[in-house]
Amino acid sequence: MGARPLFPGNPRQAHEFIVAIDGFDAAYFQRATVPELEIEVDEFNPLGSVRASKFAGRMTVGDCELEKGVPADRVDNAAWNWLKSAVNTKSGDIGNPSDYKRDIELRETDHVGNTMRTWLLKGAWVKQLSLSDFEGESSDHMIETLTLSVDDVEMR
């Protein structure tokens, strides 16, 4: 009797991950794979020991894969230009990392747009871009898959 039922804000909202660059929402995605963190194991055999001691070694950071996305302004070449800034395919020159590496925010939202979790992806750059097949009548996903190489990840 006095309790209000809870309803989702928009049950048709499909994009639940937001990529923000420099504080501005750049694109919305339906699926995201947060980079995996792994620490290698280093072993050391002290003199006279019959078993090795194990220590934490180098940390590796996996890729961030984003699927089924649309740019924030619906028609944007930012992902394409970002990919091309890493390597100039006409001249064969590799870009300067300060020009193509960026710190970006990946935010997971609920159905009404409230942020649930945020990850800071440091030193991210576009490793692979797959665009959707284009159809004149469809406004479906423009970015099928966007794979980002990442130097480090922080959860906020």
Phi, psi torsion values for 100, nearest 5 degrees: -115, -15
Please tell me the predicted confidence (pLDDT) of residue 43: 92
Pick out the chain residues at pLDDT < 50: 1-9
Please tell me the predicted confidence (pLDDT) of residue 7: 41
Please tell me the predicted confidence (pLDDT) of residue 15: 65
Please tell me the predicted confidence (pLDDT) of residue 16: 87
Compute the chain's Rg from CA coordinates.
Answer: 21
Please tell me the predicted confidence (pLDDT) of residue 74: 66
Please tell me the predicted confidence (pLDDT) of residue 3: 45
Q: pLDDT of 78-115, one tens digit each?
A: 888 888 888 876 777 888 898 899 999 999 998 788 89
Encode 55-88 in three state secondary structure: EEEEEEECCEEEEEEEECCCCCCHHHHHHHHHEE
CB count in 10 Å sphere of residue 28: 21
Please tell me the predicted confidence (pLDDT) of residue 112: 80
> Which residues are within 8 A (CB) of 121 and not within 5 positions of it... i.e. 6 or more apart?
35, 64, 103, 104, 105, 106, 148, 150, 152, 153
Beta-strand relationship, 152-155 and 115-131: antiparallel
